[in-house]
Amino acid sequence: MMLISAAMTLVVGHELQSAEPKEEKQRLRKEKKQHKKNKKDDRGPPEKEKEKEKASVPAPSKPATQSPAHKAAPVPVNASASESPVAAEKPAKSKAELRAERRARQDSERASKQGKKEGGQQSTSSKPKATPNELQPVVKRLPDHVQVDDPVALKKLAKKLERQQKSGQGCSLNITGVKVPLRSDYGYKVSLFSHLHQYSRKNPPTQQISIPVTVIHPSIVRLGLQYSQGIIAGSNARSVALLHAFKQVIQDYSTPPNEELSRDLVNKLSPYISFLSQCRPLSASMGNAIKYIKKEISNIPSQCKEEEAKRILQECIDSYINEKIILASEAISKYAIEKISDGDVILVYGCSSLVNHILCEAFEKQRKFRVIVVDSRPRLEGREALRRLVKKGIRCTYVLISALSYILPEVSKVFLGAHALLANGYVMSRVGTSQIALVAKAYNVPVLVCCETYKFCERVQTDSFVSNELDDPDDLIVTRNGKTHLENWQTVKSLGLLNLVYDVTPPDFVDLVITDLGMIPCTSVPVVLRVKNVDQ
């Protein structure tokens, strides 16, 4: 909303409105600081709902499909869980004052803002008047999952999760004490990674939820458990499972009285998303899928009946899955098969659903090649890929990643899958991918990355430290002949185990990226993102 955005930009200070009277800004800022300390417990859905109502009244000219109140903050692309705390942190003022202020400000702003860009609102609402080359604020809010070392951020997250319990109180039953659990870290964290979470697989977050669960839909609980135990793994699998769970949620959803589906449903989804990100940090593909859903939900016209709206949403989700994942993989296979010639020796790493699909298709089209599957501890995902390829009848060789230098002279091409493609051309993928690309470059073997466009994300990253995921460190303990050396690693003071999940590959190691839009070099990712933004 105009109102909230103005307030936010005053707080954040990025708005480019030069015509704005500066004195008014400063006065408002002082008032905010005054009220900030008194109003901590009044924050919550009652306040929010009232704000929404107030805001909706003085803004008849705005398109009705604006995003709900608490999404005013610029949304970072990959973590939807960070949206609500920002607006919630805004200090609440007394209602009459707020109303008056807003009216006054809005009148003046509306006058000055005609034809000026809205700027800075990266929310998922549709903005038909936003031009593609508007300036975005440079600093997006940092996602929660990389601020583990900051106690202030952790406190905010805990409060937000508590609050989300209350926000689910649209329905009749009020079981207090049920909240989105805050998962605690496990084990000694290597100091370089103290800003990331490290969870143990033995303590799933569902242990802290009492039954029956009213806040979180059971299919989401199941999904979260499957994520945290590693039962569903892989970027595409996780996104598809998420979308199916959301379909179920939408099916079971019923609009409470005095609520609009387009706003309330999005509110309902927020605690689910927080829960899922507690189970396992969201992937880039999941983040994009969630953005899409939220946008679609907000686009539902308010006159639409509930059944109709649900049907529309289910269709949207189905078409998203079909278009972005299934058809995309068909298109990518088509392009990739042109690159596979007879007599090739192809190296693949780990288990990428897309690469497996490409190889199976190529085999069906009677290409003659053999595959070398490289695998790494502790996940050993390559064995799954091996099973699938062997079932198809493809000739395979299997080695561990430490034998890479031995096997690479035989290889003619390397096919890699990706978890996400970052805007500066870096490829984020399973840990070990960058190593494969490095050694392949040293032996002059071409490296081809296969990635659907829905995994492109606007983040930039240059190393594997600032934003990563730490897996359960107990996975590294291995027994050979029944004995291990690292059994009691927790008791040893100076020993740490590091189990990274992702790493980033620099674009100079990658020769080609095969996407559903065609074959592009790594550095063309921001172009594709720009084209996508224009389309939307």
Binding site for another protein (CB under 8 A): 190, 192, 376-378, 383, 386-387, 390, 396-407, 409, 430-432, 434-435, 438-439, 442, 463-465, 476, 478, 480, 484-486, 492-500, 503-504
In whole angstroms, the minimum distance from the beta carbon of 497 to another protein comes to 5
Residue (327 or 438) nearer to another protein, CB:
438
Q: Which of 103, 186, 144 is CA-nearest to residue 281?
A: 144
Q: How far is the CB of 525 from another protein (least distance, A)?
A: 21
Min separation Cβ 94 and another protein, Å: 51
What is the helix (H) or strand (E) element at residue 348, kind and residue range? strand 344-349
In angstroms, rounded to a whole number, what is the distance separating the alpha carbons of residues 359 and 364? Answer: 9
State how far the alpha carbon of 85 is from the alpha carbons of 89, 135, 422, in Å.
6, 24, 26
- How many CB atoms lie under 10 A from the CB of residue 22? 8
Question: Which residue's CB is nearer to another protein, number 231 or number 478?
Answer: 478
CB-nearer residue toward another protein: 325 or 440: 440
Closest distance to another protein from the beta carbon of 332 (Å)? 25
Please report where in the chains the tokens 């303990």 appear, as a residue.
477
Task: Give least dist CB 463 to another protein, A.
Answer: 5
Q: Minimum distance between the CB of residue 406 and another protein, rounded to whole angstroms?
A: 5
List the alpha helices (DSSP H) in 196-234: 218-228
User: Residue 217 has what DSSP assignment?
Assistant: -
Nearer of residues 61 and 191 to another protein, judged by Cβ: 191
Residue placing its CB nearer to another protein in the complex, 81 or 497: 497
Q: Report CA 150 to chain centroid distance, whole Å.
A: 21
- Minimum CB distance to another protein, residue 225 (Å): 25
For residues 252 and 463, which CB has a smaller minimum distance to another protein in the complex? 463
Nearer to another protein, 190 or 327 (CB): 190
If you write DSSP's letter for every residue of 38-101 in order, what string do you get? TTTTT-SHHHHHHHHHHHHTT-SSS-TTPPPGGG-SPPPSS-GGGHHHHHHHSPP--HHHHHHH
Length of the chain: 536
Alpha carbons 100 and 96: distance in angstroms, whole number: 6
Smaller CB separation from another protein, 243 or 371: 371
Question: At its nearest, how many Å lie between another protein and the CB of residue 148?
Answer: 18
If DSSP codes are grouped into helix, strand and coil, which group holds residue 166?
helix
Could you give the C-alpha distances from 171 to 255, 263, 297, in angstroms and in order? 9, 15, 20
In the complex with another protein, the residue whose CB is nearer, 59 or 489, is 489
Across 75-90, b (16+ Cβ under 10 Å) vs e yields bbbbbbbbbbbbbbeb
For another protein, the closer of residues 304 and 438 by Cβ is 438
Residue of 65, 85, 66 whose CA lies nearest to 5: 66
CB of 402 to another protein, least distance (A): 3
Rg (CA), the chain: 25
Q: Do residues 83 and 125 make contact, with C-beta atoms less than 8 angstroms apart?
A: no
Task: Count CB atoms within 10 A of the CB of residue 478.
Answer: 10
For 271-339, the DSSP string reads HHHHHHHHHSPPPHHHHHHHHHHHHHHHTS-TTS-HHHHHHHHHHHHHHHIIIIIIIHHHHHHHHHHHT
DSSP 407-470: HGGG-SEEEEE-SEE-TTS-EEEETTHHHHHHHHHHTT--EEEE--GGGB-S---SSSSSS--B
Cβ of residue 436: shortest distance to another protein, in angstroms?
Answer: 9
Q: How far is the CB of 213 from another protein (least distance, A)?
A: 36
Q: Please identify, using beta-carbon distances, which residue of 288 and 429 lies nearer to another protein.
A: 429
